[in-house]
Every structure is written in C-alpha cells, then in structure tokens.
Structure 1
C-alpha cells in the first residue's frame, strides 16, 4: 500500500510539473521575450487585419507580385495575402509522369514570362509552405515585376536586398528572400 501511495504522489507531482508549471513557464518566457514570434510572426495591415505570417508561404498570382515556390497544397483562393491551407508534400517520385508534367508546365509558364527557371521556382518544398525563395529566383523575376509596376529594375533590386534574410545564426543555410515581405514592400512603393 505504501508503494502505491508513493507512486500516486510521484505521478501527481510530475503531472503538475510537466502539464502545468512547465507549459505556463514557457508561455510566460516566450510572450515576454519573443512576443512577435510566439504569436506566429503575423503581419498586420493598416486596418489591423492579419494578412499573413512571415513563416508561411502564400500564393501570389497577380502580375505585379513576386511569385513564391510552387506548392502541392491548395492555398486559400481569393485575393493575395489570403491565409494558407494545410501543410503537406506530394511524395511523388522523381520519375513520376505527373511530376514531370507539372514541371514542364511550370517551365513553360516561367519561360513565357521571360523568367529563367530556378530550382525553387520549379520544385515544391517538403512542407508546401516555404515562405522564401532564393535571391536568384527573385532576381530572375525583376524584369516582369518592374515592368508591371512601372518601376526601374534598380528600385526592385533594392527592395530584394532590403527583404533578404541572412542565414540562421549567420552560418546555417543560404540567404533567402521572404516573398510576403517583398510583395508588401512593393505595395508600399505606390
């Protein structure tokens, strides 16, 4: 009986520590030290509406916007800056005819717009929600966006430089461009 009481007491002590104290401590620390990140890195427009997150990719299809990576998931339909759908990859093998056809269609689309296809403009990310493109993919889209927005290529190049994220901790990964922030910067050029 004594061992049963000790086991029950240990269970409740561990439960209080791991189910109550630890989670609330983490919420307190994150909300105090990193409130923007803890709340989803949400970007809010001048009407105080959430238009997206810097962590989740969105489908930009209108002419004056930089295009994101293609995605295997269906983004929410409607206007740009719409919330996104669920995460997921296609798991299609490299030799699958559906994948080859999708890539051919993407190459044709990019080429018809005068964009030199880059890997991240052709292939999806594993999650389907990658918010970044490479600097090369952004540079490849400069002529199309500059013409559509009646901006000089140098102005668009400067916006790319302003919205380029450095590698994590300065050493992990490559510099990349957050498409949502870049397109918001374009909208603010008006």
Structure 2
C-alpha cells in the first residue's frame, strides 16, 4: 500500500511537470509563429488603441459599412427553431420582406453565437454598390477588398466563399 502511494505520488509529480512544459512549449511556439492570432486578432487604430477583434462580429448601422448577420437576442423561454411562429414573425418575415433582390437567405437568420463576423462573398458583393455610393468610392475598389480578404470554400468546414465583415470594415476605415 505504501509503495503504491509513493509510485502514484511520483507519477502525479511527473505528469504535472510534463503538462507544465508542454503548455509552455505550445504557448511559446504559438506566440512566436502566430503572434496576432495568439493575442486575439485585435484591431488597432492608427494611434495603437485597440478597437475590437476580428473574431467578433460588430453591429454596424451606417450605410458606409458592410453588415453582418442579424444579432438579435430572444427571450430565454422562446424556442428559436425555424418552425416557431414567434421566430418567423419577429425576425424572418420582416427581414425577408426588406431584403434586396439577390441577398442570401443566410442574412435572414442570426448566427448561433450572435457574434459571427462572417458572411458569404456573394452577400458582400451585393452590399458593395450601396457602400461605394455612401463612401464615394469606385465599386471596383470595394470588390478588390472583398476578393483580397475572401476565404475560399474549404469542404467539409464550409462550402461557400466567405468574408469577415469586421476585417472589411476595418480596411475601409484604414485600421
């Protein structure tokens, strides 16, 4: 019994040391090879102030910006399944009615996390003419930005070309 306790204690100490070194190695390698990602993909302005993160969708109301998926929050007791009447009446029907022709249906449904910064490339292209007019920019400039930051479809992870709205908008504001 005493021998089992000693062996267990040594194994515990050994595992704590191994896990500690493993964690330090992963931390160091991550910060050396991918410093921006390891620090949270932060958005910095020209003065070096943090303005947000590329990993989180922002709420934009101006016509000067690309808009992400809806960020609506439902009551806890509300079931937001697609067959739920309250869900359809409060979110989907008004959104679908107000959608411009050619918009993706995905723009009618909020993301699961409510903070998803990604939309389809097609939807970004649909929004580009309004933004070009609002910012007095050539439409081709916006299309070039969209194409530059386009993430190609990568089956099985996602099957459509997508873009990060937060990245597009930060590039428009020169962050």
TM class by smaller structure = 0.7 to 0.9
Unaligned runs of 5+ in 1: 75-89
Gap change, CA 1:73 and 1:36, over 3 Å in 2: farther
Residue from 88, 94, 106 that aligns with 2:95: 106
Partner residue in 1 for 2:24? 24
Residue from 113, 129, 132 that aligns with 2:115: 129
How many residues align structurally?
A: 168
Alignment TM-score, normalising by the size of structure 2: 0.84
Which piece of structure 1 moves more, 7-16 or 65-74?
A: 65-74
Alignment TM-score, normalising by the size of structure 1: 0.78
| Aligned: 1:143 with 2:129 | yes
How far apart are residue 10 of structure 1 and its match? 1.0
Residue from 157, 164, 169 that aligns with 1:178: 164
4+ residue segments displaced more than 4 Å:
none
How far apart are residue 171 of structure 1 and its match? 7.6
How far apart are residue 172 of structure 1 and its match? 4.6
| Aligned: 1:95 with 2:83 | yes
Q: Larger RCO: Structure 1 or Structure 2 (Cα < 8 Å, ≥ 6 residues apart)?
A: 2
Gap change, CA 1:91 and 1:21, over 3 Å in 2: farther
How far apart are residue 133 of structure 1 and its match? 0.8
Unaligned runs of 5+ in 2: none
SS at 1:141's partner residue?
A: helix
Partner residue in 1 for 2:34? 34
